[in-house]
Amino acid sequence: MSKILIVAEHLAGKLNAATARCVSCANAIRPESIDVLVLADAPDAMAAAAAKIEGVSKVLAVARVENAHPLAAVLAPQIAAIARNGYTHVLAPSTTFGKDVAPRVAALLGVGQVSDIMAVVDAHSFKRPIYAGNAIVDVETQNDAMVVGTVRTASWPAASESTNAAPIEALALDVELPTHSRFVALQQASSDRPDLQSAQRVVSGGRGVGSKENFAIIYSLADKLRAGVGASRAAVDAGYVPNDLQVGQTGKIIAPELYMAIGISGAIQHLTGIKDAGTIVAINKDADAPIFEIADYGLVGDLFKIVPELEAAV
């Protein structure tokens, strides 16, 4: 039977929702147990949150001062040491955090890595997107080898909250940690709007918005809808918004319940980032824009007339 270890992602004392999505992926493998590993300097709050995720068997909490900041070089040796205690799978979200940590863990364990798991066939067979999401490939690992993988969180719903909390076990690891990497500083944008990757509604603007000043129309509608704000690569490259708002293959992969693409033509790299959205609404003056091929609702016209009308209706 499979025994799965999920590496929890957290920031500023809060557990990332991507962890609960990893649990849903792990459940699809039908394992004997699913354990969540929380590495931090003070893991209690995150461990308690992880223990409430439905399907979690146990939470392992490692408190070390070196874990105050998520440095992959520091976390990987600890994860590998724990994984050797009978685990068959090690999973992490396919986020910046997971993409940084998982390859190092796989290398330390002497196995390959399965990236962007979007579906589970069995314990050693998975599906993942390739060619910017234009094709789905089957990936198989050796039956006698440990599986280290990253989970395409946009393809999995978050596991629900359980009424019964799983037990939490504090671990003390005797693992020598490297010193060649050190934390210097963390720079991140702050906003009162919902986080782009976890928002249930997202309003995105593209090159058609025209300028940084005109992007105010996107922010205004998003605020009315209590939505996160996104952008196409073209809008980011043009300097309308910072790159942390970029949605697509080279930006953030998201799966909100509602996605509004305003002034976005629909390049394949952008469509890759929104293909798992529930309902897609497109507004563009070009009736032949590729975005309309995947949109559930499409409005052809001047966004500077349509968006204010929508906002007034809201």
Give the dihedral of Cα atoms 97, 99, 105, 108; nearest 10 deg: -130
Task: Identify the weakest region by mean pLDDT among 36-50, 122-136, 256-270.
Answer: 122-136
- pLDDT at residue 188 tops 90: no
Whether residues 34 and 100 share a domain: the answer is yes
Last residue of a domain, one of 153, 171, 189: 171
| Domain count along the chain | 2
Which of 48, 55, 60, 59 shows the shortest CA–CA distance to 22? 55
Which of the four pLDDT bands, split at 50, 70 and 90, describes residue 190? low
Give the pLDDT of residue 176: 87
Do 71 and 140 fall into the same domain? Answer: yes
Residue 256: CATH number of its domain = 3.40.50.1220
Q: What is the rounded average pLDDT of the residues 57-68?
A: 95
CATH number at residue 131: 3.40.50.620
**How far apart are the C-alpha atoms of 296 and 128, rounded to whole Å?**
24
Handedness of CA 78, 53, 275, 70 (dihedral sign): negative
Q: Cα(211)–Cα(109) distance, rounded to whole angstroms?
A: 49
Tell whether 35 and 150 lie within a shared domain. yes
Residue 121 belongs to a domain: yes
Give a yes or no: residue 196 inside a domain: no
Q: Answer yes or no: is 26 within a domain.
A: yes
- 164/218 same-domain check: no
157 and 57 co-located in one domain:
yes
Share of the chain above pLDDT 90, in %: 77
Q: What is the pLDDT of residue 154?
A: 87
8 A C-beta contact, residue 148 and residue 90: yes
Q: Work out the average pLDDT over 223-236.
A: 95
pLDDT at 139 over 70: yes
* pTM to 2 decimal places: 0.82
- Please tell me the least confidently modeled range out of 12-26, 32-46, 171-185, 208-222: 171-185
Based on the fold, state whether residues 145 and 241 are members of the same structural domain.
no
My answer on whether 124 and 205 are in the same domain is no
Residue 204, helix vs strand vs coil: strand
pLDDT higher than threshold 90 for residue 245: yes
Statement: residue 213 has pLDDT above 80: yes
Shared-domain flag, residues 129 and 206: no
Please indicate, yes or no, if residue 158 is contained in any of the structural domains.
Answer: yes
E strand segments, the chain: 3-7, 10-11, 14-15, 33-40, 58-63, 89-93, 113-117, 119-122, 125-130, 135-140, 147-151, 168-171, 201-205, 228-231, 258-262, 279-284, 297-300
Predicted confidence (pLDDT) per residue in 64-81, tens digit: 999 999 999 999 999 999
Same domain, 12 and 148: yes
Q: Could you list the residue range(s) of the whole structural domain that residue 228 is in? A: 201-313
Residues 235 and 120 in one domain: no
Q: Which of 125, 152, 171 marks a domain boundary? A: 171
Q: For the segment 143-166, what is each residue's pLDDT rounded down to a tens digit?
A: 999 999 999 998 999 999 998 999
pLDDT tops 90 at residue 275:
no
Bridge pairing between strands 279-284 and 297-300: parallel
More confident residue, 125 or 250: 125
The mean of the pLDDT values for the chain is: 93
Domain termination site, one of 149, 171, 193: 171
- Same domain as 151, residue 222: no
100 and 26 in a single domain? The answer is: yes
User: Does residue 37 sit within a domain?
Assistant: yes
Model confidence at 300, in pLDDT bands (50, 70, 90)?
very high
